[in-house]
Amino acid sequence: MIKEFREFIARGNVMDMAIGIIIGAAFGKIVASLVNDLVMPAIGLIAGKIDFSNLFIDLSGKHFKTLAAAKAAGAATINYGVFISTVLDFVIIAFVVFLMVKGINRMKRKQEEAPAEPTTKDCPFCVSAIPIKAIRCPNCTADLK
């Protein structure tokens, strides 16, 4: 059983998947920082100096100035500012993945469109397929010089 597990782990697909997950987690952190540190402050400035991280609805009936103060008091809140940031994270990640897939598909199409070099030719006498470098037909023994 240990041998089978080692073979499973050593297979290329599992290693590729593990690397993809690690890179994806790091990419997610980069996108989260992009959204939280660059995009949301810019949108907040354009929208009238709004801090999206502090946009929430207090369900307890008390008034808290910040989301951190509401959480510290244990108040139930609807954090729609955080939700907006998360939606922007998703949209940016989805767009980047779309661009990557589009680029990969374009490269695959170029590879598929490239004509393959012929490896055989037809004998002019017996019309059999023979190797392109043949100088004598192996079927009818005709000289192909």
Q: What is the mean pLDDT of each run of 10 residues along the chain (145 residues)?
A: 80 77 87 83 82 85 88 91 85 84 84 78 90 89 84
CATH number at residue 84: 1.10.1200.120
Domain of 127 in residue numbering reads as 117-145
- What are the backbone angles phi and psi of residue 50, rounded to the nearest 5°? -95, 135
* Structure tokens given for 102: 């589009």
Residues 73, 125 within the same domain: no
| Beta-carbon contacts of residue 80 (< 8 Å; ≥ 6 apart) | 55, 56, 57
Please give the helix or strand (H or E) that residue 120 lies within, else none: strand 120-122
Residues 29, 82 within the same domain: yes
Residues 93, 30 within the same domain: yes
Asked whether 99 and 91 are in contact (CB, 8 A), the reply is no
- Please tell me whether the overall predicted TM-score, pTM, comes out greater than 0.85 for this model: no
